[in-house]
Amino acid sequence: MLSKLLLTIGDPAGIGPEVTVKALARPETHAGCVPVVIGDKEPVEKAMALTRSPLKLRLLDDADSARGGSDELELLDINALGGRNYEIGKVSALCGEAAFKYVTSAIALSIAGKAAGVVTAPINKEALHLAGHMYSGHTEIFAEYTHTRDYAMLLMSGNMRVIHVTTHVSMRRACELIQAPRVYRTIALAHEALKMLGIPNGRIAVAGLNPHSSENGLFGNEETEAIIPAITQARAAGIDAEGPVPPDTVFVKAAGGMYDMVVAMYHDQGHIPLKLYGFRVDPSTGQFTSVSGINTTVGLPIIRTSVDHGTAFDRAGKNTSNEMSMVEAVTTAVRMIPYYEAKKHA
């Protein structure tokens, strides 16, 4: 029997409903799982009409009744919008609240054993905050609602995999947070993530924080005080970790296959090379021709993968959004199911 995966539609005013509907029209999204959409009926119906989806909408009373037909979009209607009006492409507290309810509902169902995990379409932080939910993003919501203390954001595109020691904080705060225990925990989570992806003896590169990894203390002391001790501890635990590798070359080496994972010290250090690796734009139109890449939260008791792009309010409602990141998020979640099932029954 195939495991269920819950697909949240994200902010109803963004491109989340569209990329979800488009992804489910592709057969590979149904291979290896039963996808169940968590959202509101209205934005899903709008997205199906906009994209001229060949799928039939099937409303569910509960996740257990999903049957996994590849010609259907099975929806668990949360009715978070309550029939109230919202405007496509506009930030609103209404849509922020709805997006939050989709996520927390999906987490609760997964924790209750109704699904293996959750695949998320994008939410908007401003809308989330307007609704009174002061989270930096999905990662922090999942951590709190699954009562997880040690977790990290992992980005993937092809053979490029990047996990982050710090994410949604200022640069000043990121530097303060880079301490040996935190760096070690992230390396350990990187090791767990590789096992989760079927790479049990993966090679992990740990990026430096400062230019040239500080040149033995010439440009900072984070390497000697925090990063090197963490790598030493990881090696003692049997983890194949190397570094600190200068951040201006580590991603080139990873793209060339020298490493299976890079531990980045802060948000943009990891996100910029990953998106440069996986995203493509047509310069004549400004439209994305490729949006390859997903993110996942490592360390949770359930699977959580996500698209690696935002709500794109400027493109919402225009049928121009690329669904491949959502497709990859689903297929990556399917790849993780055996690891989580084995862990659950260990």
Mark whether 174 and 255 lie in a shared domain: yes
Together in a domain, 306 and 320:
yes
Rounded Cα–Cα distance for residues 60 and 77 (Å): 7
Coil, strand or helix at 88:
coil
Q: Domain with 37 in it: what CATH number?
A: 3.40.718.10
pLDDT digits (tens, 9 = 90+) for 226-247: 999 999 999 999 999 999 999 9
Pair 144, 185 in one domain: no
Residues 293 and 321 in one domain: no
pLDDT on residue 292: 66
The answer on 177 and 216 residing in a single domain is yes
Phi-psi region of 82 (alpha: psi -120 to 50; beta: other; left: phi over 0): left
How many domains, the chain? 2
Same domain, 155 and 283: yes
pLDDT confidence band for 291 (50 / 70 / 90): low
Range of the domain at 261: 150-297
Beginning with the edge strand found earlier in the chain, give each strand of the sheet holding 34-39 in spatial order. 56-59, 72-77, 34-39, 4-8, 117-120, 303-307, 294-298, 152-157, 160-164, 261-264, 204-207, 241-245
User: b/e for 127-138, b at 16 or more Cβ within 10 A?
Assistant: bbebbebebebb
47-75 confidence digits (pLDDT tens):
999 999 999 999 999 999 999 988 999 99
pLDDT, residue 290, reads 65
Same domain, 85 and 138: yes
* Pair 161, 227 in one domain: yes
pLDDT of residue 308: 82
Encode pLDDT of 148-176 as tens digits: 999 988 999 888 999 999 988 899 999 99
Same domain, 133 and 236: no
Measured CA to CA, the distance from residue 155 to residue 221 in angstroms comes to 27
Co-location of 227 and 238 in the same domain: yes
What pLDDT sits at residue 289?
59
Residues 198, 341 within the same domain: no
